Structures are given as structure tokens and as C-alpha cells.
Chains A and B, each alone.
Chain A
């Protein structure tokens, strides 16, 4: 059986602000994948030699790199914040019969985010 499908215009997501931000949120995944590729380059240079690593750092000082990093940071922060804000809605936790309030889950996620960030900074720079 073939059901009737209401035709939807391909520009539906430009018609309403919330639709637009939904598509932007989904498109942040492109930046996530792009940064994965960059991490692979970074890892191979840092594993290769001091010279390869230094050359990479020099290119990271270029205006293009700074601009790209800022753009990626903006999109990936948008991903992170929308992701964390959705998590309490997906991850419904209970203590006994009581549902743990969304706000409490959200706060613990943000504290976890801060802790993870500090640990990574410590691994690379500290000690």
C-alpha cells in the first residue's frame, strides 16, 4: 500500500527561526567530523618529530587557522550546549520512586564538563 505523503518544500527550514536553528544544530556535526580529521593530523605530527610538530604549530598561528578555530569553536560550543540541555530530557533518572529533577542533571553535566576540561588541560600542561 502506498500512503499519501504531503509534499514538503525543501526550504521548510528557512521559514521559521526554530526550524533554522534545528538544522544549524544538526549541521554542527560537520564541524565535529572536521575536527576529528584535524585531530588525526595533529596526532601524527606530534608523534612524528619535534620538527614536524613545530611546523604544524607555526601554521596554526596563521590568521586562517585562527579564523577556522573560532568558527569551529562557535559551532562545536553550540553542539555542546544544545546536547547538554537535551540530555536531562532523554536520560530520565530516578532515586527510588522520585524522579531526579532536570535541573539537577543539567547542573551535574555542566560540572562534569568543567571537570573533564580541567583534567585535559592538566594532562597537557600541568604537573
Chain B
């Protein structure tokens, strides 16, 4: 039987789905409301600024951002095919996973430059 890449892609998809489901709702509350309106106190800049320099935090952020990109790629690819773009499915596959890879590279660049 030919080796399939499907299990690897599915692992990335489900890890990204779990991470985004677990942490994005609370992060949205924080970036959308708690921080801009100082609902949980001010002076958070120093704390965040310092934390972002820590290698462990960077590593966590890398997974928290790059895996959800792969979650998007996998879901979006199949949705586009399902709603009628089957004839360009190869291009969709390349664009989606390529986009996720680009997103991950961008994440590395941003974290590296801190």
C-alpha cells in the first residue's frame, strides 16, 4: 500500500483545531476588550513585553499560531471542494497548505525578531 501523507495532515489539523478552540476565545476577550478598555487593570505592557522575550513563551506561541494555520488549511480546502470547486482542487490544495506553511514561516520571523 502506498504511504499516505493524510495522517500527518490530519494530526496537524486536529492539533490546530484543539489549540484554537482552547485558547482563542479567551485571547479574543483579552485583545478585544480586557486590554484596550483596561478592564483588568493597566500596566500590562511591561508584563507582556518581558514575557515575549522568554524562549519558552516563544515556543508556545509558535505552536499556538502555526498549528491553527494548518487547521484552517485542511478545513478550508475541503469546504471549497465541497461547495463546487472540485475542478480546481489541486490548486486549492497547494494554496491552502502553502498558505499554512507561509503563515508558519511568518510566525517564526515575528518571534525570531523579538
A32-55, CB < 8 A from B: 32-33, 35-40, 42-44, 46-47, 50, 53-54
Q: Given A26-B75, A61-B37, are A39 and B65 neighbors across the interface (CB < 8 Å)? A: yes
Q: How far is the CB of A88 from chain B (nearest CB, A)?
A: 13
Cβ of A21 under 8 Å from chain B? no
- The answer to whether A57 and B25 touch across the interface, beta carbons within 8 angstroms, is no
Q: How many interface residues does chain B have, given as a range?
A: 35 or more
Q: Is B5 interfacial (CB-CB < 8 Å)?
A: no
> A42 vs B31: C-alpha distance in the bound complex, in angstroms?
8
Question: How far, in whole Å, are A27 and B17 apart by their CA atoms in the complex?
Answer: 13
Do A23 and B25 touch (CB < 8 A)?
Answer: no
Q: Contact: A123 with B51, CB < 8 Å?
A: yes
| Given A40-B107, A61-B36, A73-B29, A29-B76 contact (CB < 8 Å) | yes
For chain A, the count of residues having a C-beta within 8 Å of the partner chain is 50
Q: What's the least CB distance linking B36 to chain A, in Å? A: 4
B residues 21-41 with Cβ under 8 Å of A? Answer: 21-37, 40-41
Q: 4 nearest interchain CB pairs?
A: A69-B32, A10-B84, A33-B72, A60-B36
Q: Which residues of B contact A (CB under 8 A)?
A: 14, 16-18, 20-37, 40-41, 44-45, 47-49, 51-53, 61, 64-65, 68-69, 71-72, 74-76, 78-79, 82-84, 99, 103, 106-107, 110-111, 113-114
A-B contact pairs, 11 of them (CB 8 A): A30-B76, A46-B45, A47-B113, A53-B49, A61-B36, A65-B36, A73-B29, A76-B20, A76-B25, A113-B22, A116-B26
